[in-house]
Structure 1
Amino acid sequence: MIVDELVAKARLAQQKFEKDANQERYDNAALSAAWALMEPRRNAELAELAVQLTGLGNVKDKITKNHRKTLGLLRDIKHAKTCGIIGEDTASGITEIARPVGVVGAVVPSTNPVATPTNNVVNALKCGNAIILSPSPKGVAVCEKLVAYMHAEFDKTGIDKDLVQMIPAPVSKAKAQRLMEAVDILVVTGSQDNVRRAYSSGTPALGVGTGNVTVIVDDTADLAVSAQKITDSKCFDNATSCSSENILIVVEDIREGFMSELHKAGGRFLDAENTATLKSVLFQNGHLNRQIIARDIDKVIDVAGIDVEDPDTAKFLLIEGAGIGPEFPESGEKLSLVTTVYFAKDFEDAKSLASKVLNHQGAGHSIGIHTSNDRHAVMLGEELPTCRVIVNQAHCFATGGSFDNGMPFSLSMGCGTWGGNSIDDNFNHKHLMNITKVVRTIPVNEPTLDEIFGSYWQDAGK
């Protein structure tokens, strides 16, 4: 089978890549793959082709995303040690040695057919691995072009092209399944069906959960700033990001002022009749209408056949949620320029509504809050099923790493056990290396029973 041939070539290339390697070799390979995309003319070409093939997002924002995500990743890994001895602790007597995981299989989504595979490739090469990409059917041609540009960069410095390969057209579930079974580790971004198949493949898998980003705006928020950040985030690349605001929960005391600021920023709150019409078109037989997913706002309005106030300056649509749960599809992820709004009596009520939303869909991924009360943000982290609380930021720019926060740059967000994932961090290079520990003896450190149980015995007795 073609997949087995790809894996065999990848294994041979990876073994040669790892033999007598040094950090410079791994770093240069990662930089070669990154420059294949970041060279401005290639970035523009790949962004345009991605939108043309998938019909998702827009070219301008894809160019920005490709550049920003890759540059941020390169910043994160620039000084990271991923080859040879990476740590020595004389107190514990342990030396840590970084080792590659081998051959990585990466299943990439149609929403980000360029930025995500580049992120995966750079992380894999940084740690001395080979990688095989499994693109979505709509993303095959753009993935082919991306890999070809990477290979052209490899030729400049003699890097083995077999370190980066892809499943050739026609792609199929059977080929993707065989890849999942044959490689050493899987990175899966996209549909939950792919994630579940990866987890059941018998291969260690790094999957991500469903996004359904919920953002609270409390009564201490800067309303104008919050509205603009939410609009910028929601509209970026036509809401293709799993980190785009799907749900807003607004405290009642600021309802009028905040909705006014949203209107100024480009949000259009639909009346009951137009909300009902939009919902009937967007949600069809349990699925999202592909004519609306990640489309420009004029296309969304046209397909839905709705009346929108000030349509020429509209940027996204807002509908009031009728409830939360499976019978209320507006309470789930929409992947479109549509956001659902719920109004809460106060912050405690907003927190309760957010918990209901996340337990319906999006548990583990992230939640946002616009507030001047940092304690509110910490309370969300203490009480809700979420791995990230994004505070006073444009959510889709912040969750996957930003130049003004400390999160690793990534397009794949682990959702912990809440989201059925093995990681709760942003996927990054650390997930693609093994660490071997050389363990030596140290002075004996064996406690007495009294040192361990003393305080317990005082309370409970022996």
Structure 2
Amino acid sequence: MTAADPIQDVDTIVARARAAQAAYEADGSQLAYDQAAQAAAWAIMEPARNRHLAELAVETTGLGNVPDKITKNHRKTLGLMRDIKDAATHGVVGHNPASGITEIARPIGVIGAVVPSTNPGATPANNIINALKCGNAIVVSPSPKGVPTCEALVGYIHAEFDKLGIDRDLVQMIPGRGSKEKTQRLLETADLIVVTGSQNNVRRAYTSGTPALAVGAGNVAVIVDETADLAAAADKIQASKCFDNATSCSSENAVVVVDAIYDAFVSEMARTGGALIADEAKITDGLWVKGHLNPRAIAQDAKDMIDALGLTDDVPEGTEYIAVETAGIGPDHPLSGEKLSRVLAVYRARDFDDAVRITREIELHQGAGHSVGIHTTTDDRPLILAQAVPTSRVIVNQAHTFATGGSFTNGMPFSLSMGCGSWGGNSIDTNVHWRHFIQTTKIVREIPKNEPSLDEIFGAYWDAAGR
């Protein structure tokens, strides 16, 4: 192989990361791991650098908007730092005298992170911080459009590393324009793969032979029932749907409204800038071009999206998003899938049971395992929904985009990668967080014998079934 061989380039980077990680672990301490994570966090949170990364992301990907990316970079990183602040990731992290087991934290090694163009700053930063906190090195493989932002982020991290004498090789990225060939090599040579974004990359990760944390696709459906605070629900849905121009996998794609309050809720949506369109063909004809989402409409500001869809004369001034009445679900009904835009499908349900049925069908079509939501004042309906739908999360009375990936007002870990369980073809059903970036060695000591009698185990069964 020559020096210009892309496979050799990846192998060289991984080898440097492996050497840096070995030294990082050998000289490791909780302080060292914490400071490295803090350095990476400040690299993206420092206001001037945050703004530059946000502007660069929008300029080079054409997705989202600058103010919301600044907010995302700040809040996602701040929330993550809160989550990991007191986490023990070095040395003895647990001892149970009753079981005789002592746990010692151990790094995984070299993390390979494949990150999407929708969040080219916040997602790699999240992975990098988690990796460093747990004693790992990390190599990031950005999408082609995300390369400039990722390069800038890594540069800022290295500048922070230099202040403390931290080895730059702990955080690297695949150089040049991204390619499937280079990403595949990273998948094969890292010690753990974390993949967010393309479902093609997810499938490749799971078949690479390397342990993988790969997450599923979102297609969020949210129920608004007859007991809901309609004004609050509309406000939250608008804020969530429009944030960063719906680039998030947690952005609402459908709202399922119970018939008894349908008209009242449509009025509340209109108050918040949601323009209802009854002719779904007007939307589908513009949002999809030759079977693919129209790049002029996806993840764009409201005015640009409305222009791209040819709706300027059909919606009032101040429209923030399009709400489209529809009833169809499945491959022949594209509005029932993820739209990556300020377009929200609206389904009318006869009652709550019918709303659950519709939500289940939407999730089974696309987005199974990710998350659904409900706006209600009842205590039992979230549980009913959770037991009926193939989902890992039921978000109750919250703006879905902000709640699913961690919020300062709920207990979910701050993350940009949501596992979807077996429903979504994933190995995890939780938000990807620091605990996924560490492993433990167990010291096992002898304890007093604890062997039950057969009667203790089978007595109740024998009474019911006989011996």
Smaller-chain TM-score bracket: over 0.9
Superposed CA offset, 1:160-188 (max 9, x none): 00000000002210000000000000000
**1:223 aligned partner, one-letter code:** L
Q: Is the aligned partner of 1:213 residue 2:220?
A: yes
Give the alignment of 1:391-402 within 5 angstroms.
391-402=396-407
State whether residues 270 and 308 of structure 1, in contact with CA within 8 Å, keep that contact through their aligned partners in structure 2: no
Give the alignment of 1:61-460 within 5 angstroms.
61-272=68-279, 275-307=280-312, 311-460=316-465
**1:454 aligned partner, one-letter code:** G
**2:115 aligned partner, one-letter code:** V
**In 2: Cα distance, 1:285 partner to 1:326 partner:** 15
State whether residues 327 and 348 of structure 2, in contact with CA within 8 Å, keep that contact through their aligned partners in structure 1: no
> What secondary structure, in the 3-state scheme, does the structure 2 residue paired with 1:350 have?
helix
State whether residues 246 and 342 of structure 2, in contact with CA within 8 Å, keep that contact through their aligned partners in structure 1: yes
**In 2: Cα distance, 1:256 partner to 1:450 partner:** 63
Superposed CA offset, 1:178-206 (max 9, x none): 00000000000001000000101100000
State whether residues 367 and 424 of structure 2, in contact with CA within 8 Å, keep that contact through their aligned partners in structure 1: yes
**In 2: Cα distance, 1:307 partner to 1:113 partner:** 31
**In 1: Cα distance, 2:241 partner to 2:235 partner:** 10
Q: 284-293 vs 233-242, which deviates more?
A: 284-293
TM-score by length of 1: 0.99
State whether residues 414 and 424 of structure 1, in contact with CA within 8 Å, keep that contact through their aligned partners in structure 2: yes
Distance 1:310 1:328, change over 3 A: closer
TM-score by length of 2: 0.98
Deviation at residue 284 of structure 1 after TM alignment:
2.7
**In 2: Cα distance, 1:459 partner to 1:385 partner:** 34
Deviation at residue 433 of structure 1 after TM alignment:
0.5
Give percent identity, aligned residues only. 63
> What secondary structure, in the 3-state scheme, does the structure 2 residue paired with 1:229 have?
helix
Match of 2:57 among 50, 57, 73: 50
**In 1: Cα distance, 2:177 partner to 2:338 partner:** 29
State whether residues 268 and 308 of structure 1, in contact with CA within 8 Å, keep that contact through their aligned partners in structure 2: no
State whether residues 269 and 318 of structure 1, in contact with CA within 8 Å, keep that contact through their aligned partners in structure 2: yes
**In 1: Cα distance, 2:359 partner to 2:388 partner:** 11
Correspondence for 2:11: 4
Deviation at residue 210 of structure 1 after TM alignment:
0.7
**In 2: Cα distance, 1:348 partner to 1:308 partner:** 37
> What secondary structure, in the 3-state scheme, does the structure 2 residue paired with 1:313 have?
coil
**1:428 aligned partner, one-letter code:** H
**In 2: Cα distance, 1:90 partner to 1:51 partner:** 54
**1:74 aligned partner, one-letter code:** M
> What secondary structure, in the 3-state scheme, does the structure 2 residue paired with 1:246 have?
strand
Correspondence for 2:5: none
**In 2: Cα distance, 1:327 partner to 1:87 partner:** 53
**2:347 aligned partner, one-letter code:** Y
Superposed CA offset, 1:195-247 (max 9, x none): 00010110000000010000000000000000000000000000000000001
**2:307 aligned partner, one-letter code:** D
Q: Is the aligned partner of 1:33 residue 2:40?
A: yes
> What secondary structure, in the 3-state scheme, does the structure 2 residue paired with 1:132 have?
strand
**In 2: Cα distance, 1:403 partner to 1:308 partner:** 40
**1:228 aligned partner, one-letter code:** D
Q: 307-316 vs 260-269, which deviates more?
A: 307-316
Aligned length: 460
Superposed CA offset, 1:428-461 (max 9, x none): 0100101111111111111111111111111111
State whether residues 88 and 94 of structure 1, in contact with CA within 8 Å, keep that contact through their aligned partners in structure 2: yes
**In 2: Cα distance, 1:211 partner to 1:247 partner:** 11
State whether residues 275 and 323 of structure 2, in contact with CA within 8 Å, keep that contact through their aligned partners in structure 1: yes
> What secondary structure, in the 3-state scheme, does the structure 2 residue paired with 1:226 have?
helix
**1:389 aligned partner, one-letter code:** V
**2:161 aligned partner, one-letter code:** F
State whether residues 370 and 391 of structure 2, in contact with CA within 8 Å, keep that contact through their aligned partners in structure 1: yes
State whether residues 252 and 344 of structure 2, in contact with CA within 8 Å, keep that contact through their aligned partners in structure 1: yes
Deviation at residue 384 of structure 1 after TM alignment:
1.2
State whether residues 247 and 299 of structure 2, in contact with CA within 8 Å, keep that contact through their aligned partners in structure 1: yes
**In 2: Cα distance, 1:264 partner to 1:224 partner:** 9
Deviation at residue 17 of structure 1 after TM alignment:
0.2
State whether residues 104 and 132 of structure 1, in contact with CA within 8 Å, keep that contact through their aligned partners in structure 2: yes
The gaps in structure 1 that reach 5 residues or longer are none
**In 1: Cα distance, 2:106 partner to 2:278 partner:** 58
State whether residues 256 and 355 of structure 2, in contact with CA within 8 Å, keep that contact through their aligned partners in structure 1: yes
Distance 1:399 1:280, change over 3 A: same
**In 2: Cα distance, 1:448 partner to 1:315 partner:** 68
Deviation at residue 307 of structure 1 after TM alignment:
4.6
Cα RMSD after superposing both structures? 0.8
Deviation at residue 253 of structure 1 after TM alignment:
0.1
**In 1: Cα distance, 2:314 partner to 2:408 partner:** 36
> What secondary structure, in the 3-state scheme, does the structure 1 residue paired with 2:380 have?
helix
> What secondary structure, in the 3-state scheme, does the structure 2 residue paired with 1:340 have?
strand
**1:128 aligned partner, one-letter code:** G
Deviation at residue 310 of structure 1 after TM alignment:
5.0
The gaps in structure 2 that reach 5 residues or longer are 1-7
